[in-house]
Structure 1
């Protein structure tokens, strides 16, 4: 540090606090207060001019925004050769005429220095060979390869996250993620399946075979399923515990509140659907929606509140559904709706109402139900699907998921609004997509036959939308003869 020319024995000069300060004589500091450098005077006093320039240059680099940092651009050999040939065409080597490099730089959209460097490289290194890039083979950081077979050796419990798999393979997580984006391996979300006994699998195979029509000598074909009515119950919650949104960067996140996350308002509904009908031109003549019936009741309020007086009728959800309630809904709501909406030309054929094996469902030979189905000359029968087989019902296979997605586009606040949103989602669902679910069920039945009644299969994609756009969407799928003979 440089020496100071003052003596501690001398008395410091007096200073009058009333003397005004000449602020113009004091050098200022540009920029925000948090960027002040309290060692600035020391640097200026003790540093050489070259060191000060270095500090200034370092400050400029440190203050650059990362998004504005310009990276060096790579130019291919063909592009650089084209620039060099353009320079040769406009000048007489070895002298480059004035203004030629600027003109070529504007033509090719590159900096002037790039054009000048290409010219010097070509002149100093013997023409076009000197213009080519030098690093053309194995240059840069070496690629880290991952043995795909080594992934199969790692136990599935030890590869549930990128970090776990990276530790098992002995590579970095960033390297593993790069190979994942390149398609070297895939992510799989494993869903839990019902365990099925031998009797369950046998019942599933028998059900699938009953849906096939023997079309000898051609391959067997599935029943068109126009006379099957599917019924099932479904809970609809007022809101999800976790909901995904897409927000702007400066937008506040939505505020959702409930009194208890474990007791969100919900309503159970009974959905009744069959396969839609279309004419020869593809126009829907019956959407296949019989109805949706909520398990709710209406009663007057027992107390007054700031929102309503005492005795106001309100809608409440049933907390439990018994066998008596199921019988009442089937006899007094489902059957009248079927008889009202069924096509007149199909009235003579037998109609099968398929339900699952829940304990609250009535027996297929329930006397009250049988008496109601045989009235007025109707032939309606109640059947049960195989146990533990939600993939054999169009409601569980895709209809409920689609309705629930439409339902959660709204924001209901009470039971009445929940029921209103359910009805709106049910009746707005397109009939052509509902028809696709019936074809998906037929493809699932083919997979069940291939897997001997098992459940560990992937739902096949048959490109239904593409086939429908081309006018080639089938009504029923065919079963290969060898598969039919082998299962039979």
Structure 2
């Protein structure tokens, strides 16, 4: 082979063995004859250093009484700790626990990339399952600890989803799901009330902030008999219409008593209940509400969140989604089972999760200031998990003083505060101006 035609590619096992056989023919009693290395390098297009290395390996094998045999070392990346799929463990998972790679990885105690690799290798198969028929204002923004603000809101919780995805073993049957109508899946509206939790100096929970979650349901006797129950059996049904009277009853007889029962003795009794601007909500001067709210040493006031500002409510900002994620992992077939699933999911959420959402709220309020009351921003990510592991979560996020002063000046302009609609007093007080 001409000089300069040497290749830097990896040698195969057969080519290495040809080199060793060539050297053995040009050796006497384990000693290479003069010029054998150079001749082998030119013959096979490799470097003299490579020839010496293979000859050294071959002599070591022969000294151990083994035949000289070369094997290629480059075999590709091999996982020495590659995990095998435990099919029995997969079969014991419910279909709701297989609805995402994240859930499966958590239940199987492996990484998400491992589950993804099993899917690529065909050990798991994805299956999509379809059910079958049988703008913001800034005048009220206050950056404070928020420990005396109770957030309330309503949300529909459905018995199942129209379409879901599960990960099955290749030999497993596809799950069968059915309901009377996929256009009218059974659902129940809940009213949830939370406030910011309180932690001690060593991180222990002094107050979890969860005041309660209350369904809008009623217990009525069955009008007709069926194969499942006789006529007259008491059944739990969703309330047909949630109007102002229903909302007032929930506030007066459920939410306010829950606040009084769970509120810490050492905390301020001056409390604000923040609700959105839905039509069925009562106003802040409702006589029946005021009679209950301003008793037993409490002074509870109703306030409304800013219009077109869903990110200013803790429940819409992420807490409802966390409850729903857990709720969808639990199967149910009746309204009572749905209520139990929502209750248990609500209780499973830790106070630390609730506290993180309050920090997200403060980050959104900062964005509202930056965009001068606009809601055309993206919810910021502040790496709360990393902060909790390293420095610890702050009680309140820092806000640039210049930003606050610029916003105060912006609100004082006549074109931005026509008729004195914006009260900048709370905003000034919140930052010590």
Quote the offset at 1:395 in angstroms.
0.1
Quote the offset at 1:313 in angstroms.
0.9
Residue matched to 2:383: 463
Residue matched to 1:341: 262
* Partner Cα distance (1:425, 1:461) in 2: 25
2:387 is the counterpart of 1:474? no
* Partner Cα distance (1:248, 1:290) in 2: 42
Structure 2 unmatched ranges of 5 or more? 1-5, 31-36, 51-134, 409-433
Residue matched to 1:357: 277
Change (3 A) 1:93 1:336: closer
Q: Which of 20, 27, 41 in structure 2 is aligned with 1:122? A: 41
* Partner Cα distance (1:119, 1:129) in 2: 6
Residue matched to 1:367: 287
Q: Is the 8 A contact 1:84 1:128 kept in 2?
A: no
RMSD over equivalenced CA pairs, Å: 3.2
Quote the offset at 1:485 in angstroms.
1.3
Q: Is the 8 A contact 1:91 1:97 kept in 2?
A: no
SS where residue 346 of structure 1 aligns?
A: coil
2:355 is the counterpart of 1:431? no
* Partner Cα distance (2:196, 2:7) in 1: 60
* Partner Cα distance (2:38, 2:221) in 1: 93
2:139 is the counterpart of 1:206? yes
Deviations 1:220-274 (A, max 9, x none): xxx0110000000000110001112111122211111011111100000100001
Question: For residues 54-133 of structure 1, what are the structure 2 equivalents within 5 Å?
Answer: 77=8, 95-96=25-26, 122-124=41-43, 128=47
Quote the offset at 1:344 in angstroms.
0.4
Question: For residues 401-412 of structure 1, what are the structure 2 equivalents within 5 Å?
Answer: 401-412=321-332
* Partner Cα distance (1:224, 1:76) in 2: 69
The TM-score, its normalising length taken from structure 1, stands at 0.59
Q: Is the 8 A contact 2:151 2:273 kept in 1?
A: yes
Change (3 A) 1:459 1:304: same
Quote the offset at 1:451 in angstroms.
1.4
Q: Which of 318, 325, 335 in structure 2 is aligned with 1:398? A: 318
Larger radius of gyration: 1
2:192 is the counterpart of 1:271? yes
Quote the offset at 1:386 in angstroms.
0.6
Quote the offset at 1:430 in angstroms.
1.2
Quote the offset at 1:77 in angstroms.
3.0
Residue matched to 1:311: 232
Quote the offset at 1:414 in angstroms.
1.2
Q: Is the 8 A contact 1:385 1:392 kept in 2?
A: yes
Structure 1 unmatched ranges of 5 or more? 1-74, 101-117, 132-195, 213-222
Change (3 A) 1:437 1:119: farther
Change (3 A) 1:292 1:94: closer
* Partner Cα distance (1:398, 1:346) in 2: 26
* Partner Cα distance (2:28, 2:259) in 1: 91
* Partner Cα distance (2:168, 2:29) in 1: 52
Quote the offset at 1:302 in angstroms.
2.3
Structure 1 stretches (4+) deviating beyond 4 angstroms?
Answer: 78-81, 83-88, 90-100, 118-121
Q: Which of 257, 260, 263 in structure 1 is aligned with 2:181? A: 260
Residue matched to 2:301: 381
Quote the offset at 1:285 in angstroms.
1.7
Residue matched to 2:372: 452
* Partner Cα distance (2:358, 2:7) in 1: 55
Quote the offset at 1:458 in angstroms.
2.0
* Partner Cα distance (1:99, 1:264) in 2: 87
* Partner Cα distance (2:187, 2:345) in 1: 16
Deviations 1:335-380 (A, max 9, x none): 00000000001144x1000000000000111111111111122111
Quote the offset at 1:319 in angstroms.
2.0
* Partner Cα distance (1:98, 1:372) in 2: 108
* Partner Cα distance (1:372, 1:227) in 2: 18
Structure whose residues are more often strand by fraction: 2
Q: Is the 8 A contact 2:157 2:324 kept in 1?
A: yes
Q: Is the 8 A contact 2:22 2:40 kept in 1?
A: no
Change (3 A) 1:303 1:127: closer
Residue matched to 1:61: none
Q: Is the 8 A contact 1:124 1:130 kept in 2?
A: no
Quote the offset at 1:468 in angstroms.
1.1
Give the total of aligned pairs.
313
Residue matched to 1:229: 150
Deviations 1:103-137 (A, max 9, x none): xxxxxxxxxxxxxxx99883237762999xxxxxx
* Partner Cα distance (2:7, 2:188) in 1: 65
2:241 is the counterpart of 1:320? yes
Q: Is the 8 A contact 1:327 1:369 kept in 2?
A: yes
SS where residue 302 of structure 2 aligns?
A: strand
